[in-house]
Amino acid sequence: MEPHIDATPVPPLDSVAPPRPPSQPQPQTSHTTSTADRGSFCLAVCSCGWKGPARRSRDLARKDAAGHEAAGAV
């Protein structure tokens, strides 16, 4: 078996820049909530990614959203 001679040369590790650390996401200062219908259920959703529990009552979903906004929780 012959040695592989057509290999691509790899630069030494000294010449390769180290990876940059991942940037930290900036926290949002305000929460924008709304409700979304999923079949016969309604749930509260927020711009921060939070989702409330599925409810059959839109009023309860709105209260979940209001509570999330008031708490400012992420």
Output the pTM of the full model: 0.56
Dump pLDDT digits (tens) for 2-57.
666 676 777 676 666 777 777 766 665 678 899 999 999 999 999 888 999 999 99
Cα(39)–Cα(1) distance, integer angstroms: 65
Residue that has been written with the tokens 């509570």 in this structure: 67
Cα atoms found within 13 Å of the Cα of residue 23, Cβ hemisphere only: 3
Cα(24)–Cα(67) distance, integer angstroms: 27
